[in-house]
């Protein structure tokens, strides 16, 4: 009998890619769940059991976890900086998803649950300058995470730890650092910076515009991780014997201005930058310290920012270039 894997948030960006990974592996029976109607999932999976339901509801969690040995919780209400700074309560309600999935996993005797956390858990004091030292896993405490979204992730990490201690449920946790790539959102307010910047430069090129809007002064820094690296790191953490929290992120720290320059080179199109200093900017600087995951799992991301952006740019360009998309995204 095939092992049953449940992916919660399978209609989203990372969850969709993870579901596709398991879908091509005949060793597993795949079950997918997401709050969105199936027609709105980023990737459609028609060869397995799919559920469109709200996992903040405990009974729904009981339903989808029935018979599942392994559970990946990729579900949460989140988006780019504009979304998480203006929807803190909505972001924090995602703690109900994790809490109810943990309870249902114990009730239905699942073997292991993976929780997708975030670099937003890290102490803000360590992210006040542009180019800062990479954040180590221990830098989450003393706690001062991103308000709203970061607190939800940090609390959920602790819930996983205590469900392991109190109920014997195996849990694994990875802190993702700014994941990007094809088959995700690139407009509407929930997109991350790489997708947003690709979209803006593509629209400028298609419409022969000279400038794009940039939130902040462009000197804020991040490390961006391509989706293929994210999946590989996720499976490394999940399949390990370690219950420690791991960073899963790139240590290639770049400014937003540098990211724009890389996309300009890919697009072969230069733009002027209109800096909007009153827009949400997040922390001043952030990147991943990968010392711990290298030591314990002998792994770190391998795809460069430019290589990942080339693939992402091409997918967004092809998608936007469709006649029904050009007018839809030129205004943002």
Return the active site residues: 149
Q: Are 55 and 93 a contacting pair, CB within 8 Å?
A: no
Q: How far is CA 222 from its chain centroid?
A: 14
Buried (b) or exposed (e) across 280-308, using 16+ Cβ within 10 A?
Answer: ebbbbbbbbbbebbeeebebbbebebeeb
For residue 247, what is the DSSP state?
E
Q: Where are the alpha helices (DSSP H) in the chain?
A: 13-23, 58-65, 81-86, 88-92, 95-107, 149-167, 193-206, 227-238, 256-267, 291-297, 305-321, 323-329
For residue 270, what is the DSSP state?
-
Q: Are 220 and 193 a contacting pair, CB within 8 Å?
A: no
Number of Cβ atoms within 10 Å of the Cβ of 54 = 14
CA distance linking residue 36 with residue 330, whole number of Å: 25
β-strand 221-223 against 253-255: which pairing, if any? antiparallel
Q: Are 267 and 208 a contacting pair, CB within 8 Å?
A: no
CA distance linking residue 51 with residue 34, whole number of Å: 6
Q: Are 201 and 330 a contacting pair, CB within 8 Å?
A: no
Can you spell out the DSSP letters for 102-155?
HHHHHHTT-SEEEEEEEGGGS-GGGGSSSS-PPBPGGGG-S----TTHHHHHHH
């Amino acid at each position: 009998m095939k092992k049953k894997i449940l992916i919660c948030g399978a209609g989203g960006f990372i969850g969709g890619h993870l579901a596709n990974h398991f879908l091509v592996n005949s060793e597993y029976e795949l079950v997918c769940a997401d709050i969105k109607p199936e027609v709105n999932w980023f990737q459609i999976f028609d060869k397995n059991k799919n559920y469109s339901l709200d996992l903040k509801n405990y009974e729904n969690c009981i339903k989808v976890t029935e018979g599942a040995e392994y559970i990946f919780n990729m579900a949460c209400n989140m988006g780019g900086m504009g979304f998480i700074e203006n929807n803190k309560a909505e972001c924090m309600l995602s703690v109900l998803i994790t809490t109810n999935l943990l309870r249902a996993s114990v009730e239905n005797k699942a073997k292991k649950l993976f929780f997708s956390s975030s670099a937003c858990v890290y102490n803000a004091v360590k992210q006040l300058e542009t180019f800062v030292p990479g954040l180590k896993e221990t830098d989450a405490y003393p706690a001062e995470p991103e308000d709203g979204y970061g607190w939800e992730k940090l609390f959920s990490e602790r819930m996983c730890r205590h469900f392991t201690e109190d109920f014997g449920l195996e849990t694994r946790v990875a802190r993702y650092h700014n994941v990007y790539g094809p088959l995700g959102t690139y407009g509407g307010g929930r997109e991350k910076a790489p997708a947003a910047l690709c979209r803006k430069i593509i629209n400028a090129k298609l419409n022969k515009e000279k400038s794009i809007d940039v939130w902040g002064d462009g000197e804020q820094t991040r490390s961006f991780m391509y989706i293929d690296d994210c999946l590989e790191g996720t499976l490394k953490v999940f399949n390990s014997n370690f219950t420690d929290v791991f960073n899963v992120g790139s240590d290639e720290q770049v400014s937003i201005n540098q990211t724009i320059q890389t996309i300009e080179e890919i697009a072969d199109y230069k733009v002027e930058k209109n800096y909007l200093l009153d827009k949400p900017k997040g922390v001043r600087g952030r990147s991943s310290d990968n010392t711990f995951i290298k030591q314990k799992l002998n792994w770190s991301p391998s795809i460069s920012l430019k290589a990942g952006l080339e693939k992402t740019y091409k997918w967004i360009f092809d998608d936007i270039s469709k006649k029904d998309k050009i007018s839809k995204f030129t205004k943002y």
